[in-house]
A and B are shown apart, each in its own frame.
Chain A
Amino acid sequence: MNVAEKLPDALTMPLADIDVSDPRLYEQDAWRPYFARLRREEPVHFRADSPFGPFWSITRFDDIVAVDSDHGSFSSEPTIVIGDIPDDLPVEMFIAMDPPKHDLQRRAAQPVVAPQNLAAMEGLIRTRVEDILDGLSPGEPFDWVEKVSVNLTTQMLATLFDFPFEDRAKLTYWSDLAAGTPEMAGGDVTQEEQLTGMTECLQTFTQLWHERKGREGGFDLISLLQRDPNTADIVERPMEFLGNLMLLIVGGNDTTRNSATGGVLALNQNPAEYDKLRADPGLIPGMVSEIIRWQTPLAHMRRTATRDLEFRGKQIRKGDKVVMWYVSGNRDETAIERPEEFIIDRKNPRHHISFGFGIHRCMGNRLAEMQLRILWEEIMRRFHMVEVVGEPERVRSNFVRGYKTLPVRLHPL
């Protein structure tokens, strides 16, 4: 683990100096007081200088919903992370497109994660979860991230793409590269490593595409893109093909992976909630929503102002970066009761901001919830406790709120 670098004091530093893009805030899990102060004193905040250039921060729940809903004033182009896309990898993906192109491409991919398709997949997911959990050794400490979270979501991703199962670790590797550079979100992947990996990803999927062409049926993502007239020739536009692959790989992987780890951590930090869960496993569906809120696996989404406008009394200029901090919206005391607490039987647990709102709202939200629900159902059938036995190591990024490792020990029923 890195030696913690000293961060400025959130309560006494000048407001204008607060820079919530600093990836160390997330690596050290130190972000809470900075956002609490912004929500209180300057909920729409301008930071004039950062490694990602000047940017606005939107920190309150209702303001985030307003920005997320107004895609006319706040564009998702050219990109939806705070940093810029690398010049040598000008990818295009529908999460970073405005209507009408966005709508056509999203519609082509949506059926794979529609609940009807998911119901057909539930049995397969459960079998895979059972196999993973049954392969663990109780008593000995191990890394939950590697053995469970990564393993589960990687298998799921291979299923969604109908990707060669034995090569599935590549999907996770590419996912980690996709938004991992310092320029994009403050990570530690080099641009060269990213370019090499993304080139390999594109080549692999281009080959898969051609092999699969003409095959009947198939509800995997590649077959769906091939069948929809709006995306049938997407392979001819490599940067668009790659962009959408990256989107679906990161969207279907990082997020659920980190919620699968975050849930274990949250229950360990809140033993009374773990007791509630043991007493009533029927709380699992609501708990899953609460885990997704508590974890907020993506800390932010960025928009770019399409015109000069006034927002909550602030003058935003055309071209300004406007960053919606989901991680802050989910802790907003004006929208969520006792937001700092992890409460598995909240009255209205789906009212959280982790999936975003408006036309870019998470497409795979039901799949994510289903995976986590099945995971916890099977955990509770086997283990009295998944005990955290050491500090988690967190990812250095202002975008992906994740874990590199979480040491645990299992206590069977």
Chain B
Amino acid sequence: MPAITLIEYNGASHTIEAASGKSLMQNALENGVPGIDADCGGACACGTCHCFVEARWLPASGEADAMEEAMLGMRPDRTGQSRLSCQIEVTEELDGMVVRLPEYQM
């Protein structure tokens, strides 16, 4: 099981044993990590599971498709490391990945 570290905006760090095949968002919620709302339940349709993937993990986390791009485009705090965690599928390759959570979801 890949270990993934999520760091809240206030600095609180959570390392979870993530289940491969599920999204990062699902894994975070199932492990009780705060800071992700996921209002739409994983349909890439609300933008409330926004996270920042540490640069060196970006290639392994995959690429945002057109819909995710469109949703990320509405985020005032978007950066080059922005992803929607519901669109990142956890794989063994992501073992050790670090992602940061934003100040707020909207």
Residues of A at the B interface (CB closer than 8 Å) are: 65, 68-69, 71, 99, 103, 106-107, 110-111, 113-116, 350-351, 355, 357-359, 361, 363, 365-366
Contact = CB atoms under 8 A, between A and B. Distances in A.
Interface stretch (B15-23, B36-44, B81-89): B36-44
Contact of B45 (A68, A99, A111, A363): A68
Contact of B46 (A113, A114, A357, A366): A357
B103 A116 contact: yes
A361 B67 CA distance: 13
Interface string B25-48: 000000000000101110111111
A64 B50 CA distance: 22
A47 to B, nearest CB: 26
Interface residues of B, number: 20
Interface string B60-77: 000000010011011011
Contact of B106 (A68, A103, A359, A366): A366
Contact of B39 (A69, A115, A116, A351): A351
21 contacts: A65-B40, A65-B43, A69-B43, A103-B70, A103-B73, A107-B73, A110-B76, A113-B106, A114-B106, A115-B103, A350-B48, A351-B41, A355-B46, A357-B40, A358-B45, A358-B71, A359-B73, A359-B74, A361-B47, A366-B104, A366-B106
B103 A69 contact: no
Contacts of B37: 350
A87 to B, nearest CB: 32
Interface of B: 37, 39-41, 43-48, 67, 70-71, 73-74, 76-77, 103-104, 106
Report, nearest first, the 9 A-B pairs whose CB atoms are least far apart: A357-B45, A115-B104, A350-B39, A69-B45, A114-B76, A359-B70, A65-B43, A366-B106, A358-B45
A140 B73 CA distance: 50
Contacts of A111: 76
Contacts of A359: 70-71, 73-74
